[in-house]
């Protein structure tokens, strides 16, 4: 009996130590909770992070650039941000690096009303486009225009606040906006109007989309934590793809006022953006060709000044084998 009690005591002690061993981790999104973020909430609800010894807190964001800065400053352990924000901030000295190349095709698009008739890049000539001050989409649009030999002199850019882009299109003050196939497209759709999206990635101007990043110091001092976080995240996205309705239900528990159908539809688009022609079959895998093209386009159209290789900004070393 003493041996049985001793064994039970060891089990209880081990369970107690396991519970105490949970690493407190905060994860900063790029924006307010939407379809892109659903898999993270689903993974947390399913216990995938907890099973990796991670006590996860998910914080909403205020834009990719802000998220990069917050993570670089150490205020959050990991963050979700677009590759261009990550790269431009890193080249200015921030200690930051991508550990998952999550969306390998960008959702950047020219979003319009279907009735406007914008179906090909050439249809953009003579049109007016809503853009926001400092928005990287305006600069990367020039890559799309160059690839498709558009006459930029015939295209009018109208500066508007980010929140006013959709309204400007709906009220026909502009012909289209520069935005996201997984964002503004559905904001228009759920106003009862049929939208259209001309994706940059489909017309010669693809860059790596969303990345998951942390600091170089975290990579150096806590590589096992990074590996566990990446493993739980990959598992979360795989599970959300298999059970999209259950995944959205998990997100609604975190934010009840979400439009369920819009959130679901946004997430399905993000599933499409996980892969590029160069990167298939493994969630989080970054392809050299995609990162090289991203750097090339940023140098050419966003005045990026760096001679660093793509591996300075992203690593595949933490992906599950």
pTM over 0.75: yes
Give yes or no for residue 82 having a pLDDT over 90.
yes
Give yes or no for residue 14 having a pLDDT over 90.
no
Average per-residue pLDDT in the chain?
A: 93
Band of pLDDT at residue 264, cut at 50, 70 and 90: very high
Average pLDDT over residues 83-111: 96
Distance (Å, whole) CA 200 – CA 137? 10
Give yes or no for residue 228 having a pLDDT over 60.
yes
pLDDT score, position 263: 95
Q: Enter the DSSP assignment of 195.
A: E
Average pLDDT over residues 179-191: 92
- Note the pLDDT tens digit of each residue in 230-257: 999 999 999 999 999 999 999 999 999 9
Distance (Å, whole) CA 159 – CA 139? 13
Average pLDDT over residues 163-175: 96
pLDDT score, position 150: 97
pLDDT score, position 100: 98
pLDDT score, position 13: 47
Domains, the chain, in order of start with CATH, read 2-105+208-312 (3.40.190.10), 108-203 (3.40.190.10)
Q: Please check whether residue 44 is in contact with residue 58, taking contact to mean a CB–CB distance below 8 angstroms.
A: yes
Q: Which two tokens stand for residue 316?
A: 């595949």
Q: Measuring CA to CA, which residue among 75, 84, 95, 155 is closest to residue 121?
A: 155
Q: Which two tokens stand for residue 26?
A: 């905060």
Place of tokens 């990287």: 136
Average pLDDT over residues 27-37: 95
Please tell me which residue, 315 or 65, carries the higher pLDDT value.
Answer: 315
Distance (Å, whole) CA 238 – CA 284? 11
pLDDT score, position 54: 98
Band of pLDDT at residue 3, cut at 50, 70 and 90: low
- Residue 280's Cα: distance from chain center in Å? 17
pLDDT score, position 163: 84
pLDDT score, position 281: 76
pLDDT score, position 1: 53
């Amino acid at each position: 009996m003493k041996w049985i009690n001793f064994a039970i005591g060891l089990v209880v002690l081990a369970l107690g130590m396991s519970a105490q061993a949970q690493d407190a981790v905060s994860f900063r999104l790029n924006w307010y909770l939407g379809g892109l973020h659903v898999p993270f909430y689903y993974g947390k609800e399913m216990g995938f992070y907890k099973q990796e010894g991670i006590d996860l807190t998910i914080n909403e964001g205020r834009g990719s650039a802000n998220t990069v800065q917050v993570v670089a400053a150490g205020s959050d352990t990991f963050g979700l941000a677009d590759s261009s924000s990550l790269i431009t901030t890193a080249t200015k000295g921030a200690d930051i690096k991508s550990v998952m190349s999550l969306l390998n095709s960008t959702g950047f698009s020219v979003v319009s009303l279907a009735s406007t008739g914008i179906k090909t890049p050439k249809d953009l000539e003579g049109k007016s486009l809503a853009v926001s001050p400092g928005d990287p989409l305006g600069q990367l649009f020039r890559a799309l225009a160059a690839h498709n030999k558009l006459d930029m002199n015939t295209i009018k850019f109208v500066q508007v606040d980010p929140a006013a882009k959709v309204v400007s299109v709906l009220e026909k003050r502009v012909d289209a906006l520069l935005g996201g196939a997984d964002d503004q497209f559905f904001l228009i759709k759920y106003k009862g109007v049929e939208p259209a999206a001309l994706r940059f990635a489909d017309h010669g101007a693809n860059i790596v989309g969303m990345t998951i990043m942390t600091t170089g110091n975290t990579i150096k001092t806590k590589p096992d934590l990074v590996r566990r976080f990446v493993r739980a995240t990959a598992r979360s996205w795989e599970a959300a793809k298999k059970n999209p309705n259950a995944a959205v239900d998990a997100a609604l528990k975190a934010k009840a006022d979400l439009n369920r159908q819009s959130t679901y539809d946004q997430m399905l688009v993000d599933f499409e953006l996980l892969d590029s022609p160069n990167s298939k079959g493994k969630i989080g895998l970054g392809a050299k060709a995609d990162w090289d093209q991203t750097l090339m386009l940023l140098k050419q159209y966003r005045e990026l000044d760096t001679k660093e290789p793509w591996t300075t900004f992203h690593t595949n070393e933490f992906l599950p084998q």
